[in-house]
Copies of this chain bind each other. A is one copy, B any other.
Amino acid sequence: MADQEAVKLYGMWSSPFSRRVELALKLKGVPFEYIEEDLSNKSPLLLKYNPIHKKVPVLVHNGKPVVESLVILEYVDEIWKNNPILPQDPYERAMARFWGSFIDDKILVTAKKVHFCLDKEREAVILEVCEQMKMLEKQLNGKDFFGGDKIGFVDIVGNIVAFWFPITQKVLGSDFFTSEKFPGLFKWIGKLQEIDVVNESRPPREKHLAYVRAQFEALKIAPK
Q: Chain B contacts of A98 at CB under 8 A?
A: 66-68, 71
B-binding segment of A19-27, A74-82, A114-122, A188-196 = A74-82
Q: Does A112 contact B (CB under 8 A)?
A: no
Contact partner of A78 among B74, B78, B93, CB < 8 A? B93
Q: Are A93 and B74 in contact (CB under 8 A)?
A: yes
Interface string of A38-63 (1 = CB under 8 A from B): 00000000000000100000000110
Q: Chain B contacts of A91 at CB under 8 A?
A: 61-62, 64, 66, 75
- Give A66's nearest chain B residue, CB to CB: B94
What is the CA–CA distance of A62 and B91 in the complex, to the nearest angstrom? 10
What is the CA–CA distance of A75 and B96 in the complex, to the nearest angstrom? 11
Q: Chain B contacts of A90 at CB under 8 A?
A: 75, 78-79
Q: Chain B contacts of A135 at CB under 8 A?
A: 52
Q: Are A74 and B102 in contact (CB under 8 A)?
A: no
Q: Are A71 and B94 in contact (CB under 8 A)?
A: yes
Q: Does A103 contact B (CB under 8 A)?
A: no
Q: Are A93 and B68 in contact (CB under 8 A)?
A: no
What is the CA–CA distance of A62 and B102 in the complex, to the nearest angstrom? 23
What is the CA–CA distance of A90 and B61 in the complex, to the nearest angstrom? 11
In this complex, the member of A61, A62, A64, A68 whose beta carbon has the largest number of chain B beta carbons within 10 angstroms is: A68
Q: Chain B contacts of A94 at CB under 8 A?
A: 66, 71-72, 74-75
CB distance from A85 to the nearest CB of B (A): 13
Q: Are A71 and B102 in contact (CB under 8 A)?
A: no
6 nearest A-B pairs in the assembled complex, by CB-CB distance: A78-B90, A75-B94, A71-B97, A66-B94, A71-B98, A71-B94
